[in-house]
Amino acid sequence: MATATGAQERAVSREKTGSGKLVGRIVQYGLMSLLALIFMIPIVWMISTSLKPKAQLFEQDIHWIPQTITLESYQKILANDAVPVGRWFANSLGVAIAVTLLTLIVDALAAYAYARLEFPGKSILFALLISTLFLPGMMFLVPNFLTINRLGLLDNFAGVIVPGLAGVFGVFFLRQFFEGIPKELEEAATIDGANVFQTFYQIVMPLAKPALATLAVITFLASWNDFLWPLLVLTKPEMLTLPPGLRTLQGAYTSEYGQMMAGAVIAAVPVLILYVALQRYIVQSVASTGIKG
Amino acid sequence: MATAVTRESAAVRPVQGKRRFSLAPYLFLLPHLIFFAGFVAYPFFNGLLISLQSYNFLRPDRTKFVGMQNYANLFTPGSVEFQPFWTSLGNTVQFVIYSVPPLVIIPLGLAVLLNLKLPGRNFFRAVYFMPWVLSIAVVGLLWWWIFQSQGGLINYYLGRMGLEEPQWLSTLPWAWVAITVATVWWTLGFNMIILLAALQDIPDYLYEAASIDGATPMQMFWRITVPMLRPVLLFIVTTSIIASFNLFGQPFLMTGGGPALPEGGGATTPVMVQIYNEGFVRYNLGTAAAMSVVVAAIMIVVSVVNFKVFQQRD
Residues in chain A with CB shorter than 8 Å from the CB of B217 are 8-9, 11-12
Letter string b/e over residues A233-266, b meaning 16 or more CB atoms within 10 A of that residue's CB: bbeeeebbbbbbbbbbbbeeeeebbbbbbbbbbb
Q: Is residue A182 part of a domain?
A: yes
B54 and A CB contact within 8 Å = no
Return the pLDDT at B312: 64
Q: Is residue A39 part of a domain?
A: yes
Residues in chain B with CB shorter than 8 Å from the CB of A125 are 29, 33
Residue B157 confidence (pLDDT) above 80:
yes
Confirm if A260 and A270 have CB atoms less than 8 A apart: no
Do A8 and A121 fall within a single domain? no
Q: Is residue B113 part of a domain?
A: yes
- Give residue B216's domain range: 72-312
Q: Is residue B3 part of a domain?
A: no
A132 and B CB contact within 8 Å = yes
Do A128 and A84 fall within a single domain? yes
Would the CB atoms of B32 and A291 count as touching at under 8 Å? Answer: no
Return the pLDDT at B309: 77
Q: Which of residues 90-149 of B touch A (CB under 8 A)?
A: 110, 112-118, 121, 123-131, 133-138, 141-146, 148
Q: Is residue A63 part of a domain?
A: no
How far is A243 from chain B, CA to nearest CA, in Å?
Answer: 5
Residue B3 confidence (pLDDT) above 50:
no
Backbone angles phi, psi at B18, to 5 degrees: -110, 150
Fill in the DSSP letter of residue B261: P
Do A84 and A212 fall within a single domain? yes
Return the pLDDT at A285: 83
Give the pLDDT confidence of B64-110 residue by residue, as tens digits.
Answer: 899 899 999 999 998 899 999 999 999 999 999 999 999 999 999 99
SS3 sequence, A52-87?
Answer: CCHHHCCCCCCCCCCCCCCCHHHHHHHHCCCCCHHH
| Residue in B closest to A293 by C-alpha | B235
Return the pLDDT at B19: 55
Using DSSP's 3-state secondary structure scheme, residue B2 falls into coil
Return the pLDDT at B10: 45
pLDDT, block means (10 residues), chain A with 293 residues: 48 56 87 94 96 87 89 93 94 97 97 93 92 88 96 96 94 93 89 90 93 93 96 95 96 88 96 92 80 45
**Residue to substitute from B6, B138, B307, interface A, most A β-carbons within 10 A:** B138
- Give residue A45's domain range: 4-50
- State the CATH number of the domain containing residue A227: 1.10.3720.10
Would the CB atoms of B246 and A136 count as touching at under 8 Å? Answer: yes
Q: Is residue B5 part of a domain?
A: no
Do A39 and A100 fall within a single domain? no
Question: What total of structural domains would you count in chain B?
Answer: 1
Return the pLDDT at B22: 83
Do A46 and A96 fall within a single domain? no
Q: Which of residues 66-85 of A touch B (CB under 8 A)?
A: none
Which pTM was predicted?
A: 0.90
Return the pLDDT at A17: 57
Q: How confident is residue B12, by pLDDT bands cut at 50, 70 and 90? A: very low
Q: How confident is residue B112, by pLDDT bands cut at 50, 70 and 90? A: very high
Q: How confident is residue B231, by pLDDT bands cut at 50, 70 and 90? A: confident
Q: Is residue A69 part of a domain?
A: no
C-alpha torsion sign, points A183, A189, A190, A191: positive
Return the pLDDT at A98: 98
Q: Is residue A67 part of a domain?
A: no
Q: Is residue B253 part of a domain?
A: yes
Q: Is residue A55 part of a domain?
A: no
Question: Rounded to whole angstroms, how far apart are CA atoms A183 and A186?
Answer: 5
A119 and B CB contact within 8 Å = yes
In total, chain A counts a number of residues equal to 293
Q: Is residue B63 part of a domain?
A: no
Q: Is residue B100 part of a domain?
A: yes
Return the pLDDT at A221: 94
In sequence order, the 6+-apart residues with CB closer than 8 A to the CB of B98 are B176, B180
How far is B190 from chain A, CA to nearest CA, in Å?
Answer: 7
Number of CB atoms found within 10 A of residue B36's CB? 23
Per the DSSP assignment, residues forming a β-bridge with B64 are B54
Return the pLDDT at B184: 97
Do A37 and A169 fall within a single domain? no
Q: Is residue B17 part of a domain?
A: no
How far is A58 from chain B, CA to nearest CA, in Å?
Answer: 5
Q: Is residue B294 part of a domain?
A: yes
| Residue in B closest to A187 by C-alpha | B7
Return the pLDDT at A288: 76
Mean pLDDT of B220-241: 90
Q: Is residue A227 part of a domain?
A: yes
Q: Amino acid letter at B21? A: F
Do A131 and A46 fall within a single domain? no
Return the pLDDT at B5: 42
- State the CATH number of the domain containing residue B122: 1.10.3720.10
Would the CB atoms of B135 and A282 count as touching at under 8 Å? Answer: no
Return the pLDDT at A3: 47
Do A178 and A101 fall within a single domain? yes
Do A39 and A171 fall within a single domain? no
Would the CB atoms of B10 and A45 count as touching at under 8 Å? Answer: no
Question: What total of structural domains would you count in chain A?
Answer: 2
Confirm if A208 and A177 have CB atoms less than 8 A apart: yes
Q: Which of residues 22-41 of B touch A (CB under 8 A)?
A: 22, 24-26, 28-29, 31-33, 35-36, 38-41
More confident residue, A207 or B56: A207
Give the pLDDT confidence of B33-49 residue by residue, as tens digits.
Answer: 999 999 999 999 999 99
Using DSSP's 3-state secondary structure scheme, residue B29 falls into helix
